[in-house]
Amino acid sequence: MDFLERNKALFAEIEEKIAKDPQNVENYLILGKLYVMGGLFDKAIDVYGELLKIDPLSTQALVNTGSIYFFKKEYQKAIDTFSRVLETDEANFSAYYNLGNTYAELKNYNQAMHSYKRALACDDKNPDLYTAIAILHQDMCEYPDAIANFQKALDLDPKNPEYNSNLACAYVKMKMYKEAVYYFKKSIDSVPDDPKTLLHLANVYSSMKDFENANLYFELALQYDENYYEAYICMAISLCDEGKVNEAYAVYDKALEINPNRSNAFVLKANLLVSNSEFAEALKLYRKALEIEPSSPKIYIHAGNTSVLAGDLVGAIRDYKKAVTLLPNDEQTLLMYYDTVRDYVNKKYDKEQFSGTK
């Protein structure tokens, strides 16, 4: 049963209220919100359009409409709609905040920051705004500024687990692992059964080469989500760093058992096999990965490199050629391809010369 059918009586009630009092804008807002809840975005836009005929200056209707366009990735329509709000309400926090989010999605960082600063002038006590500014700095690789703004968000809402995790992730970018551990643990204090945060913490301990704690938190993450594919992948990588290669193989196999339709476990296990000179088995896994991602130049390059190590220049040429087809302007890939072709020709020539001399 779809959303409309389940809430048929509620929709009928609101529509009846609109019919009896078509000038009451609140009923339109309620109906529009119901359509949004049901994912019926075009119907919601139509309802807000009717409201704007009654009250062309309704900032709520405009902000709601702009938010729908943003969700639908119709970013220029979102910008135009939020800008309409500011034509009559120059101090509208929601319009500036959402404009900033829209420009950020378009990677127009200067315009996004300008909008966020205008939003700050309207309300400098909103933690979500500081979080948005921090993420923008993070996208521009300005990690100290990101940390400063994540901290401001956290100061306004100290027990918020998401804000603690955000700050911890920014410290990870700066390789400030002790600080990251502190804030991830604060997040876990609030939500102890969140596998994602537990995995983050495990990865930090692994980066610190504290494998005992890393394994503890990998296990905790998997305790709360036994099918957490990413946790198995990260755990296997950590076990490799610890030198426990056989255990890493087993964990990669578990990841493949959980989701055989993702390529990275095949590739990572193959990479590990290559490091142990098990080239034939590695190539089998690269082929399986290519069945999943047939347009991945990176996997073809891995396969080509492995064929070179195995002494199969013909196989390497085939894979490098495919990578070149997918990355025609990548100089490094072209160089690998041409070098391998040259080596093959020289080897064939030397062999023919040797045969002729005999």
Q: Residues 181-227: pLDDT tens digits? A: 999 999 999 999 999 999 999 999 999 999 999 999 999 999 999 99
- Residue in the block written with tokens 């537990």: 198
At 214-260, the pLDDT tens digits run 999 999 999 999 999 999 999 999 999 999 999 999 999 999 999 99
> Residues 203, 177: contact at Cβ < 8 Å?
no
Distance between alpha carbon 102 and the CA centroid of its chain, in Å?
Answer: 17
By mean pLDDT, which of 8-12, 42-46, 103-107 is the weakest?
A: 8-12
> Residues 233, 243: contact at Cβ < 8 Å?
no
Task: Enumerate residues 6+ apart whose C-beta is below 8 A from 23.
Answer: 54
> Residues 147, 171: contact at Cβ < 8 Å?
yes
Give the pLDDT band of residue 4 (cuts 50, 70, 90). confident
Q: How is domain 276-347 classified at the CATH fold level?
A: 1.25.40
The DSSP H or E segment spanning 236 is helix 229-242
Tell me what percent of the chain is helix, strand and coil, each rounded to the nearest 5: 80, 0, 20
What's the CA dihedral at 131, 137, 141, 144 to 10 degrees? -80
Of residues 352 and 91, which shows the higher confidence score?
A: 91
SS3 39: coil
The CA–CA distances, whole Å, from 64 to 38, 219, 271 equal 15, 43, 49
Considering the entire predicted model, what is its pTM?
0.85
Whether residue 121 has pLDDT greater than 90: yes
The reported pLDDT for the residue numbered 358 is 47
Whether residue 351 has pLDDT greater than 90: no
Percentage of the chain modeled with pLDDT above 90: 92
The reported pLDDT for the residue numbered 1 is 55
> Residues 164, 184: contact at Cβ < 8 Å?
yes
User: What do you get for the CA distance between the two ends of the chain, in Å?
Assistant: 82
The reported pLDDT for the residue numbered 6 is 84
The reported pLDDT for the residue numbered 5 is 81
Cα 206 to Cα 182: distance, rounded to the nearest angstrom = 15
- As a whole number, the mean pLDDT across the chain is 94
